[in-house]
Amino acid sequence: MKKTLSVLFMLSLCFVLIVPSIGAQGVSSEGKSGEYLVQFNGPVNHGLLTAFGVSEEDVFHEFNALPVVHLQLTEKQAFGLSNHPKIKYLEENAEVQALGQTVPWGIPHVQGTDAHGEGYTGNGVKVAILDTGIDNTHEDLNVQPNGHSVFSDADNSDPFYDGSGHGTHVAGTVAALNNNLGVLGVAYDAELYAVKVLNNSGSGSYAGIAEGIEWSIENGMDIINMSLGGSHSSSILKEFCDLAYDSGILLVAAAGNSGNRGGNNDSVGYPAKYDSVIAVAAVDENNNRASFSSTGPAVELSAPGVRVLSTVPGNDYASYNGTSMASPHVAGVAALIWAEKPELSNVELRELLRATAINLGGSNQYGYGLVQALDAIEYTGSGGGNGGGQDDDDSGSGRPGNGRP
């Protein structure tokens, strides 16, 4: 049984190098002085500069590689030099600003930035991204060197080649680096693992997902994110999900994009619908359910899934819509919490996510509500959340990757 995962590619957003406009002002009068770069046709002619009244104190730097001088000029001097045949270029010394890091709206929406401010970054938590692969050359991602692909053909056998871009986008939401460029992930110090279970067209099979889950168990993953799904159940896929959950792994999956505008159908896909998996619905910036977000009793948590900016292959960035974008927000929040509270079992962590979620409305649409990272880390109360989701039996204690049974 195969499925095709569709994502809506929206406006690509890149960094902006901000350069103030250089005014081509009239410079026929003495006017105020400013900094300029002057390039000569041939060697720097100091006599020419002196002839125009430029003193040694006005010269800040003389370059060696090109006959260029950085100096201070009045508007009158600049006008005269700019028209001299021995001057090749005369430009005002414009300022620039460093490339900046964008914080996608979803990160503070789930209290990711609040948690970062308190020193919580998800350090050491292993997150397997079961998807179309992850571009490990992206400068905004730190992808671990050991990954896995369930495919053997040349086009899809490399887990670090993401022909779709979907897996790279998901990975960035979980853990894009805090490096003053690009975007910021929810748990930027978490460890990302590429597990390619969908091909470059975004298609895969339940057998492939099961293989990816098995690899995650065998390689000590803490969290599995599955921004994928199909409409049919599989007893064997359920067994693999249950096996991973019983081994102490937290499984998070997209609820699906088969919702209707009224939000009154039962359309959560698989594997999200299994009791051992957290099904995540999508909301917008106003905490309204996205009209495409699947609904039903299995919905457990909500997270940002509309106009989500994240990484895509080729050191690029784009905004996507979908519950595929909501799921990694929850995986990232879980990583933040587990790094700070490694003694929690996956079941206890799941209960904590529920207990601290913000109630947004009907449980079939929102589950327990919007996940909140810092509230969960600082939570000292007891009791359940705000409705929705499934009941679970306790299993194991502590993160599977931290040496606890």
Contact residues for 263 (Cβ-Cβ < 8 A; gap 6+): 289, 293, 295, 362, 364, 365
Is pLDDT at 4 greater than 60 in this prediction? no
Residue 117 and residue 78 share a domain: no
Mean pLDDT of 341-349: 98
Cα 196 to Cα 174, 233, 323, 345, distances in angstroms: 16, 21, 19, 27
In the chain the first and final C-alpha atoms are separated, in Å, by 34
pLDDT confidence of 26, banded at 50, 70, 90?
very low
In this structure, what DSSP letter does residue 43 have? S
Percentage of the residues of the chain whose pLDDT score is greater than 90? 82
Helix (H, G, I), strand (E, B) or coil at 303: strand
Structure confidence at residue 400 (pLDDT) = 76
| Most confident of the ranges 19-28, 75-84, 385-394 | 75-84
Judge contact between 226 and 209, C-beta under 8 A: yes
Is pLDDT at 342 greater than 70 in this prediction? yes
Residue 260 and residue 116 share a domain: yes
Mean pLDDT of 360-371: 97
User: Which residue in the block uniquely carries the two structure tokens 């990711």?
Assistant: 112
Instruction: Please report whether residue 330 resides in a domain.
Output: yes
Residue 110 and residue 44 share a domain: no
List residues with catalytic annotation. 131, 166, 324
Instruction: Please report whether residue 285 resides in a domain.
Output: yes
Given 42, 71, 92, the domain boundary residue is 92
Range of the domain at 164: 101-402
In this structure, what DSSP letter does residue 359 have? P
Residue 328 and residue 369 share a domain: yes
- pLDDT tens, 171-223? 999 999 999 899 999 999 999 999 999 999 999 999 999 999 999 999 999 99
- pLDDT tens, 261-316? 888 899 999 999 999 999 999 999 999 999 999 999 999 999 999 999 999 999 99
Mean pLDDT of 241-257: 98
pLDDT confidence of 112, banded at 50, 70, 90?
very high
- pLDDT tens, 10-22? 222 222 222 232 2
Cα 22 to Cα 95, 135, 139, 287, distances in angstroms: 10, 39, 32, 43
pLDDT confidence of 404, banded at 50, 70, 90?
very low
Is pLDDT at 322 greater than 70 in this prediction? yes
Residue 180 and residue 298 share a domain: yes
Percentage of the residues of the chain whose pLDDT score is greater than 70? 86
Instruction: Please report whether residue 195 resides in a domain.
Output: yes
Quote the pTM value: 0.77
Which CATH number characterizes residue 159's domain? 3.40.50.200
Radius of gyration of the chain (CA): 27
The number of distinct structural domains making up the chain is: 2
pLDDT confidence of 99, banded at 50, 70, 90?
low
pLDDT confidence of 3, banded at 50, 70, 90?
very low
Structure confidence at residue 98 (pLDDT) = 55
Residue 267 and residue 136 share a domain: yes
Residue 186 and residue 56 share a domain: no
Residue 269 and residue 369 share a domain: yes
Nearest to 143 by CA among 191, 83, 199, 178: 191
Residue 120 and residue 211 share a domain: yes
Mean pLDDT of 18-41: 58
Is the pLDDT higher at 172 or at 98? 172
Instruction: Please report whether residue 229 resides in a domain.
Output: yes
Instruction: Please report whether residue 9 resides in a domain.
Output: no
Amino acid of residue 319: S
Residue 156 and residue 67 share a domain: no
Taking all residues of the chain, what is their mean pLDDT, rounded to a whole number? Answer: 88
Instruction: Please report whether residue 219 resides in a domain.
Output: yes
Residue 335 and residue 245 share a domain: yes
Structure confidence at residue 96 (pLDDT) = 63
pLDDT confidence of 319, banded at 50, 70, 90?
very high
Residue 348 and residue 206 share a domain: yes
Could you tell me the two tokens for 346? 């996956």
Residue length of the chain: 405
Structure confidence at residue 31 (pLDDT) = 65
Structure confidence at residue 355 (pLDDT) = 98
User: Which long-range contacts link 80-88 to residues 24+ away (Cβ below 8 Å)?
Assistant: 80/52, 81/38, 81/48, 81/52, 82/27, 84/48, 85/41, 86/40, 86/41, 86/42, 86/45, 86/48, 87/38, 87/39, 87/40, 87/41, 88/39, 88/40, 88/41
